[in-house]
Amino acid sequence: MKRGCLKRETKSLIIAVQDQALRTNYTKAKIKKSTNDPKCRLCKRKYETVSHIVSECSKIAQTEYKGRHDKAASAVHWSICKKHELPHTEKWYDHCAEPVLENEKVKLLWDFNMQTDKVIKAKRLDLIPINKETKQFHVIDIAIPGDTRVVQKEDEKIGKYNELEFEINRLWKVKTEVIPIVIGALGTISMRHIAYLAEVVVTCLLRLYRRQLC
Ligand SMILES: [Zn+2]
C-alpha cells in the first residue's frame, strides 16, 4: 500500500477490513440492531465477523484460503530460486513452483512428503531448501491465520515439526531448522518474522519488508 501499487478500491477495502468497518451480518445485527441473521452467509454456522471471513470460514478453507496460502508459498519459493540462481520467472506472481529444483549448491523441494522410518504425522512440508555445502535443511512451513493468532501459530509450527526435525537429523546426519513463515490475514507479522525470513535468505522479500517498515 505504501508503494501505491494497489487500485484505489482494493486499498479502501483493505483499510475497511483492518478497521473492522465492514458491514458484515454480525455488525448489522449486533451493532446496527437490524433484524439480519448475524451468522455467516456461507457456512451459516458462526457469526459473520471480519475475522471469521478472512480466516475462519470452513466453506472457503479449501478454496480461497488454500489459494492464498499457495500464492504466499509460491512467493517464498520464487525468492529462494532467485537467491540461489534456480529457474524462476521475472515476476513472482508468474512463478510456478516445480516439485524439485537443483543446482550444484542447493536443492529445493516443494510441497514435499518426507519419508521416515518412524510413523510421523506432521511430515508434509511446504518448502525445503537444502544447502549442499553446509548440509543444512530448512523446513519451511507457511500459514496465514487470523491476525491475533500469528505468534501462537509460529510456536505451534515449531512444536509440530520437532519429531520430524529429530528424525531428519538422525537419518541424514544434517543440521535441520524449522522456519515458520506466518503472516496474519490482514498483514500482521511478529517481531521474529524478519529473522525467520533472513534465516532462509529470502533477500528480495526482506528488502521489500524493510522498505515497508521504515
Ligand atoms: Zn462461515
| Residue 78 shares a structural domain with residue 44 | no
pLDDT in tens, 157-195: 989 988 888 888 888 888 888 899 999 999 899 988 888
Q: Is residue 96 part of a domain?
A: yes
> Which CATH number goes with the domain that contains 114?
3.40.1350
**What residue numbers bound the domain in which 73 lies?**
68-213
| Residue 97 shares a structural domain with residue 38 | no
Q: What is the pLDDT of residue 208?
A: 52
Q: Is residue 43 part of a domain?
A: yes
For residue 169, CA distances in Å to 163, 164, 175 come to 10, 9, 6
| Residue 141 shares a structural domain with residue 44 | no
Ligand 1 ion: Cβ-proximal residues, 5 Å cutoff: 40, 42-43, 57
| Residue 104 shares a structural domain with residue 199 | yes
pLDDT in tens, 84-120: 999 999 998 899 999 999 999 999 999 988 888 888 8
CA of 26 to the centre of ligand 1 (A): 12
CA of 41 to the centre of ligand 1 (A): 7
Amino acid at 140: I
